[in-house]
Amino acid sequence: MAKFYKGNLVLASTESIILDGVPINSFSTDPTLSEDSDTISSSQKAVKAYVDTGLAGLSQNRISQLNSKVEVLDTGVGSINFNVDNSSVSNITVLGLQLSSGARINEFSNDTTLVGSSSVAVPTEYAVKSYIDAGLAGLSQNKISQLDSKVEVIDTGTGTVTIATDNINKVIISGTDIRFGVGTVTYPTTPIGAYANLIFKGVNEMRMCMNDGNGNFNQYLNSYFDGTVSKYLIAATPACNFKMSTGTFGFYTAPAGVNAGDTITWNTALTIDTSGNTIIGKDLGVTGNLTITGDLTVQGNNFIANTQTVLVEDNLLVINSNEVGAGVTAGTAGIEVERGSVTNYQFLFDEPQDNFRIGMAGSLQAVATREDTPNANGLAFWNSGSVRLDTNSTLTFASSILSSPYLKATGTTKTAASLYAGATAPDGVTQLNYDGYFYATRVYNAYLNDIADFQKVIGEQIPGKCYYDTLEGAKVCFASCQKSVIGILSDTFGIAAGARNDIDYAPFAVAGWVLAFVDGQCEPGDALTNNSNGNLVKMTKEEKIEYPERIIATYKKPETTEFWGPNNEIKVNNRHWVRVR
């Protein structure tokens, strides 16, 4: 039995109150009820705070989780909105249900007539089925028609499809054939009915047989195939047949037969085989022009052209075609010109003499040929190895060059790119080449000065500058008394070694006197090396002792003219003459 006390009730740490068998050992004012204990009793204020906190996170008009929710809104017009992933998927108002797009539905209808034709009502399954069944009840399963035109399918053992207009059958399709036209056709024998036919009804009747029993497609006019032979359909009328078998086509004709049902003996008019070859069975007459895009083979004994002019557009005319022997077994082959009362003229190949011959019949002469590209003004000579006339690129005809039997120059006038005699000094720049060893009693140098060797250059090519060597190529010197210095780029050379037509290669003076850029005061004979600008400069005593291999040249004098050379073609640019070491 419980006892009640007025005033404060204090429980020691080891004491408890037992109510209906449940011991209470403490009273709590914790508003979070975090202990969650069966032996603690919370105060009224603590319980109220806990409940109020829990209710604060709830909404009176919305339930949600993460970014999906159901929300009821009523701001004059009530609605229930459904959102999934922050996107509206549907809403319900007094006007009905609407998805994210489309019409708003306010009725599920079971009207079997769909008479309302409403865009806001959805018919039930029963209503849809009843409506469709009522519509199909007025249709025929085997016929479509309007007024007196129809398409009808009938199958009472033997099926047919009939297409009729104005109550007249125009097309009848059966298991054996397709018939176009008015009326019916009766064949004398029955095998024709076993195959697929396309029949056009008319005076003589044209029929296409898709399979004549032998796997062939046939088109007949006034004829048919009874399973064994072809026969006339109508008496006293010619017949035609087009047949297509595996890869072949044939066109056949026959004169008028005596009686209907007589066997036809076909005449082959034209056939095309599997290779596309065409054979015409009888004579071919062409009253207009005839154009043949392929080859024309005439297997008769003669080809006769009764015409004034024969034009051959082909660039090759083969004579003695289909020769199977070694050479022209007939001895000669060629062209003969009919000259009436005088001797004919011939141009032919003579097999025994192995050459072409030309001239009057009985007095032919050999035809001499020449090389494909003779040299301009080149002197011709007989090449017995090639059996032709050749010319030599180094031996050309001019008034100052004779050859009897040696080549020599007698003219004394200086001519560019030509050999001439006399004391006039050359000054041209045209290149003259000789592939081989050249021997002479004395060879004078070119009109310019130094001897140069061509080397690959990396970067700008500046005549008169000093260059040093690298694995990639020569470059302008950038350090005083530079290691691997190779010399001075020259534009005054008279003789070149290793010359080539390559813009990446340039001539470097290896001997003689060359124009070069020199900095500072120098006297004739001073030893020169390079400075950091790529110019020559006087060497110090220490440099000559320590780097004797880097002496590039010795000084001679300044060049005082603006241009130099026999034709003043070289611009001096304030350079000096130095002798290359």
| Domain stops at, among 366, 392, 413 | 366
Do residue 478 and residue 560 come from a single domain?
yes
Is it the case that residue 92 has pLDDT exceeding 50?
A: yes
* 430 located within any domain: no
Cβ-Cβ contacts under 8 Å for 221 (sequence gap 6 or more):
204, 205, 206, 239, 240, 241
438-446 contacts, C-beta under 8 A, 24 or more apart? 445/494, 445/495, 446/493, 446/494, 446/495
Do residue 514 and residue 574 come from a single domain?
yes
Lowest-pLDDT choice from 197-206, 298-307, 333-342, 528-537: 197-206
Is it the case that residue 173 has pLDDT exceeding 80?
A: no
CA-closest candidate to residue 557, choices 529, 512, 526, 533: 526
pLDDT of 311: 81
CA-closest candidate to residue 51, choices 29, 64, 33: 33
pLDDT of 175: 61
* 213 located within any domain: yes
Percent of the chain with pLDDT over 90: 22
| Domain stops at, among 316, 348, 366 | 366
Do residue 471 and residue 573 come from a single domain?
yes
Is it the case that residue 148 has pLDDT exceeding 70?
A: yes
Higher pLDDT, 509 or 28: 509
| Domain stops at, among 47, 72, 99 | 99
pLDDT band at residue 1 under the 50/70/90 scheme:
very low
Helix (H) or strand (E) holding 362: none
Q: What does the pLDDT average to over 496-503?
A: 82
Q: What does the pLDDT average to over 193-219?
A: 58
Q: What does the pLDDT average to over 111-139?
A: 79
Q: CA torsion angle for 20, 25, 31, 35 (degrees, to 10)?
A: -100
Lowest-pLDDT choice from 4-13, 171-180, 428-437, 508-517: 4-13
pLDDT of 192: 42
pLDDT of 185: 45
Q: Which token pair is 515? A: 């124009």
pLDDT of 288: 84
Residue 241: φ, ψ to 5°: -150, 130
pLDDT band at residue 184 under the 50/70/90 scheme:
very low
Instruction: Please classify residue 52 by burial: count the beta carbons closer than 10 Å to its beta carbon, then call 0-12 exposed, 13-18 middle and 19+ buried.
Output: exposed
pLDDT of 540: 94
pLDDT of 188: 43
pLDDT band at residue 416 under the 50/70/90 scheme:
confident
State yes or no: cis peptide before 405, omega within 30 of 0.
Answer: yes
Distance CA 148, CA 153 (A): 16
pLDDT of 404: 45
Q: What does the pLDDT average to over 245-263?
A: 86
Q: What does the pLDDT average to over 347-373?
A: 88
Q: Which token pair is 409? A: 């120059």
pLDDT of 464: 96
Do residue 151 and residue 191 come from a single domain?
no
pLDDT of 319: 83
Q: What does the pLDDT average to over 107-115?
A: 80
Percent of the chain with pLDDT over 70: 72
pLDDT of 164: 65
Which range marks the domain in which residue 124 is found?
Answer: 107-136
Do residue 22 and residue 94 come from a single domain?
no
Is it the case that residue 533 has pLDDT exceeding 70?
A: yes
- 309-330 tens-digit pLDDT: 878 777 888 888 788 888 888 8
Q: What is the DSSP string of 297-342?
A: ---SS-----SS-----SS---SSTT--SSS-TTSEEEEEE--TTS
CB 570 within 8 A of CB 561: no
pLDDT of 190: 34
Do residue 156 and residue 275 come from a single domain?
no
* 388 located within any domain: no
Q: What is the DSSP string of 536-555?
A: EEEPPHHHHHH-GGG--EEE
Identity of the residue numbered 132: I
Higher pLDDT, 377 or 331: 331
Higher pLDDT, 498 or 551: 551
Supply the pTM of this predicted model.
0.34
Q: How many helices (H) and strands (E) does the chain have?
A: 3, 46
- In the predicted model, what is the mean pLDDT of the chain? 78
pLDDT of 14: 56
The CA distances from residue 78 to 73, 431, 548, in Å, are: 6, 105, 109
* 230 located within any domain: yes
pLDDT of 465: 96
* 350 located within any domain: yes
Count of structural domains, the chain: 7
CA-closest candidate to residue 522, choices 578, 484, 478, 477: 578
Higher pLDDT, 236 or 377: 236
* 228 located within any domain: yes
Do residue 458 and residue 529 come from a single domain?
yes
Lowest-pLDDT choice from 37-51, 106-120, 385-399: 385-399
pLDDT band at residue 193 under the 50/70/90 scheme:
very low
Evaluate the CA torsion angle 330, 331, 333, 334 in order and state its sign.
Answer: negative
Task: Convert 243-284 into a string of H (helix), E (strand) and C (coil).
Answer: EEECCEEEEEEECCCCCCCCECCCEEEEEECCCCCEEECCCC
Position of tokens 């229930």?
80
CATH of the domain at 494: 2.40.300.10
pLDDT of 129: 86
Do residue 566 and residue 456 come from a single domain?
yes
Q: Which token pair is 517? A: 């850029």
Distance CA 514, CA 489 (A): 9
Do residue 84 and residue 146 come from a single domain?
no
Higher pLDDT, 20 or 401: 20
- 467-480 tens-digit pLDDT: 999 999 999 999 99
Do residue 466 and residue 556 come from a single domain?
yes
CB 473 within 8 A of CB 455: yes
Do residue 475 and residue 536 come from a single domain?
yes
182-188 contacts, C-beta under 8 A, 24 or more apart? 187/224, 187/226, 187/233, 188/226, 188/231, 188/260, 188/261
CA-closest candidate to residue 419, choices 403, 405, 437: 403
* 390 located within any domain: no
Residue 268: φ, ψ to 5°: -75, 115
* 383 located within any domain: no
pLDDT of 73: 61
pLDDT of 189: 40
pLDDT of 539: 95
Do residue 132 and residue 145 come from a single domain?
no
CB 487 within 8 A of CB 509: yes
CA-closest candidate to residue 533, choices 477, 489, 576, 454: 477
